Chain A
Amino acid sequence: MGASTQSVQLQRQLNELTGYYALPASSRRDPRRDRFRSLAQQWRNETQWLSSTTEVAMNPAYQAIIGMGAEALPMILEDLRQNSGHWFWALKAISNEDPVVPRDRGSIKKMKGAWLQWGQTKGLVRA
């Protein structure tokens, strides 16, 4: 008599977990990271021609990233470091902090530098 459907499913899940943990930590697929990458790409695809900071920030994919909360901060900061982008609204909304001095508002390079410095101080992104 063959295995039940339930036991086959359980065995499949066990195999997936075994395979997952057999990989070095740096190679494991992180569903949260995959979701972030997908949402970030969607956000970029849908907003790059917009000037309105409000429209860019109200994009559903961007709002979904904000909805990920504090666990998104390291991913946002890493994306900011690697790809740049207007992540400042999300960083402020999630962290409830703003390291950008008023005179630098709108200076993308200086805003990026201030937030990466902030992230390094918090241990959220590497130097």
Chain B
Amino acid sequence: MKFQDMTFDQVVSALQPQGFPNLNSTNSRPTSPYDEDYNCIAWAAEDTDYWWWPDAMGQKYWPTEVPREETLAAFVRAYGIQGYIERCDATVEQGKQKIAIYTASNGKPTHAARQIPDGWWASKLGQLIDIEHEFAALDGPAYGTVAVILARPGRNGGSEINP
């Protein structure tokens, strides 16, 4: 069965053995259908029009000001252009928007997520769906773990933290 035709529970069941041992339908929820037009790196930057990646073939979008290399430093610089320059932890802080960058065991970036007001995180899973999830729900062989969390001043004076 194609991922596009699966229910959320079926997607979760299909992903678990692919390197997402912690993911389940209790610590995550779907928020949008399958969409191959953008990836997690773009989604964390609130861009749904482009697929971001610094691939050597020059196929995908990458900010021209940032080295086109698959390093944590390059990803930190790319989000720095978006205003995410303060290193922080995963707690919810009024007036701050936060993103988390994941790296694999080889140190290469794999994924990014954006904190939402209730303390969960918004992620796009490759070409698949958008989900919201608990902080550690995506930890595992596929995405590795969070290597750095960056913050920027929240929009609208940080009111997005409030209900």
Contacts and interface: CB of A to CB of B under 8 A. Distances in A.
A2 B111 CA distance: 66
Given A50-B126, A86-B36, A105 B58 contact: yes
A26 interface: no
A48 B110 CA distance: 13
B25 to A, nearest CB: 16
Interface in A43-99: 46-54, 56-57, 84-86, 88-89, 92-93
Contacts of B3: 48
A49 B142 contact: yes
Contacts of A54: 53, 55-56, 70
B62 to A, nearest CB: 8
Contacts of A84: 36
A85 B56 CA distance: 19
What is the interface of chain B mostly: helix, strand, loop, or mixed? loop
Interface string B38-74: 1111100000011111011111111000000010000
A10 interface: no
Contacts, number: 82
Interface residues of B, number: 36
A51 B3 CA distance: 16
Interface residues of A, number: 25
Interface of B: 3, 15, 18, 20, 36-42, 49-53, 55-62, 70, 108-112, 124-128, 142
26 contacts: A48-B127, A48-B128, A49-B125, A49-B126, A49-B127, A49-B142, A50-B142, A51-B41, A51-B53, A52-B53, A52-B109, A53-B59, A54-B53, A56-B126, A57-B55, A57-B57, A86-B36, A89-B57, A93-B57, A100-B59, A105-B59, A106-B50, A106-B52, A107-B51, A108-B36, A108-B37
